[in-house]
């Protein structure tokens, strides 16, 4: 009987470890996969890093971007984003503009069942991101 109890407690502990909720990490880079309802252009590279100092930054596909952010629990918001001003192909520039505009409407974050980070606007579909292997 004692060994059954020990095994049951051990199994419960392992299940608890296996179902831990992923957390949004600062000083970690996430790679954007979708902006709302549209996937990224092939081979474009958009990233978000939330610095410990309240500043976010990354690659917007053509230019580097930066903005302030506030993170409180599952609430996340960005100030107006700035960026460098390099010109790229029109399709990349349009995607970059959509990305930077979408940041200002983010209100909260969560993780999907597949542990994909989602940044949700007030209305519509989220930005979807994967952790980058640093």
Domain ranges of the chain: 25-131
The pLDDT value recorded for residue 13 is 46
Max intra-chain CA distance, the chain: 72
Specify the higher pLDDT residue, 7 or 32. 32
| Local structure of residue 76 (DSSP, 8 states) | E
- On whether the CB atoms of residues 63 and 47 are closer than 8 A, the answer is no
The pLDDT value recorded for residue 39 is 93
Q: Locate tokens 């958009």: which residue?
A: 46
pLDDT mean over 128-134: 87
In terms of DSSP H, where are the helices of the chain?
A: 2-18, 90-103
In degrees and rounded to multiples of 5, residue 112 shows phi and psi of -75, 175
Specify the higher pLDDT residue, 81 or 14. 81
In the chain, % of residues over pLDDT 90: 78
CA–CA gap between residue 63 and residue 122 (Å, rounded)? 26
Nearest to 132 by CA among 21, 63, 55, 48: 48
The pLDDT value recorded for residue 133 is 80
Whole-structure pTM value: 0.81
CATH class assigned to 25-131: mainly beta
Q: What is the mean pLDDT of the chain?
A: 88
């Amino acid at each position: 009987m004692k060994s059954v109890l020990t095994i049951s407690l051990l199994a419960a502990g392992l299940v608890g470890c296996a179902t831990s909720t992923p957390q949004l990490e600062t000083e970690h880079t996430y790679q954007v996969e979708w902006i709302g309802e549209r996937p990224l252009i092939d081979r474009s590279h958009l990233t978000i890093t939330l610095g410990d100092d309240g500043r976010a930054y990354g690659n917007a596909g053509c230019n580097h971007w930066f903005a302030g952010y506030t993170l409180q629990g599952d609430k996340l918001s960005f100030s107006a984003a700035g960026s460098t001003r390099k010109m790229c192909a029109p399709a990349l520039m349009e995607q970059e503009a959509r990305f930077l505009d979408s940041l200002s409407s983010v209100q909260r974050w969560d993780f999907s069942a597949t542990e994909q980070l989602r940044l949700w606007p007030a209305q519509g579909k989220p930005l979807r991101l994967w952790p980058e292997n640093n």
